[in-house]
Amino acid sequence: MSVLEANGLRLVRRGAVLLDGISLSLRAGEMVGLIGPNGAGKSTLLRLLAGLAPPDAGGVTLVGQRMEDWTARERAARLGYLPQHFAPHWDWRVSEMLRLGLERALRPVPLPLLAAHFGLGMLMERRWSDLSGGERARVLAAMVLAPDPPVVLADEPEAALDIGQAAALMAQLRGRAVAGAAIVVALHELNLAARWCDRLILLVEGRIELDGTPGEVLVDRTLDEAFGARLERVRMPDGELLVIPTAGLSPG
């Protein structure tokens, strides 16, 4: 069942076309990786899908209802948006930020349980300004996922995390999808996307160039052109496909 749909999204800023004719459908129970080079429009697309900015053309529907028809509170209970950059207005304690997240939950879990789930038990009395980049990323993820929203949009959530923390967060998101949530996560790391996602969408210059399973998208040479690199595909004994950049493409 489709829970989030975009139809013909177009966005122009200062004469530059940032998104052009984007249409996609996100189904319950699937985890979609949004990939593409810097400047492709991944963050911009996620903001439009989250209802944080209006498109110049086209529209977004959430559970069959136009995004603009939901109140902010109704939308927050149904859609979790994990931004790439976040700075709270106040220098909150971690416990206070998690409580803010739980206030949006239809069925809130106990605060200690939420903290333990994200490994934040030792940080509860620390303030935002005292946290490292990785700690902030984990607190923000816990805050956004606390309401257990049926749709989650995450913009490079692994960027500030170490390898183990990134894998743990991706496993969290994957678990939400298995439980029936619809997940879209923008990623730079192609192998991380391949490992955890059911479907990959390649965005290039504001347009969707590829949309398919990891096995379909990662072997397509359009990927090499999009990233301006010569990519080697290696099939592991367990069948998993690894993509390794070997060199830049020659001009022309």
Spatial distance between the Cα atoms of 189 and 183, rounded to a whole number of angstroms: 17
User: Starting at the edge strand that comes first in sequence, how are the strands of the sheet with 57-62 ordered?
Assistant: 16-27, 2-13, 57-62, 65-66
Nearest to 33 by CA among 24, 18, 7: 24
**Stronger pLDDT, 169 or 239, i.e. the higher one:** 169
Q: Report residue 124 as tokens.
A: 């509860």
Burial class (CB in 10 A: 0-12, 13-18, 19+), 142: buried
**pTM for this model (two decimals):** 0.91
Tell whether the model's pLDDT for residue 250 goes beyond 70: no
Whether 100 and 127 have beta carbons less than 8 Å apart is answered as: no
Can you tell me which residue has the tokens 């950049």? 245
Can you tell me which residue has the tokens 């996100």? 26
Read off the pLDDT of residues 105-126 as tens digits, 9 standing for 90 and up: 777 788 999 899 888 989 999 9
Q: How many CB atoms lie within 10 A of CB 226?
A: 20
* DSSP H helical ranges for the chain: 42-49, 72-78, 94-103, 111-117, 133-145, 163-178, 190-196, 214-217, 222-227
Tell whether the model's pLDDT for residue 87 goes beyond 90: no
The b-or-e profile of 78-114 (16+ CB within 10 A means b, else e) is bbbbbbeeeebeeebbbbebbbebbebeeebeeeeeb
pLDDT mean over 43-64: 94
Confidence of residue 173 (pLDDT cuts 50, 70, 90): very high
Confidence of residue 219 (pLDDT cuts 50, 70, 90): very high
Whether 185 and 154 have beta carbons less than 8 Å apart is answered as: yes
pLDDT mean over 74-88: 88
All structural domains of the chain, each given as residue ranges with its CATH number in brackets, are 2-248 (3.40.50.300)
Can you tell me which residue has the tokens 């996602």? 197
Spatial distance between the Cα atoms of 155 and 165, rounded to a whole number of angstroms: 16
**Stronger pLDDT, 117 or 206, i.e. the higher one:** 206
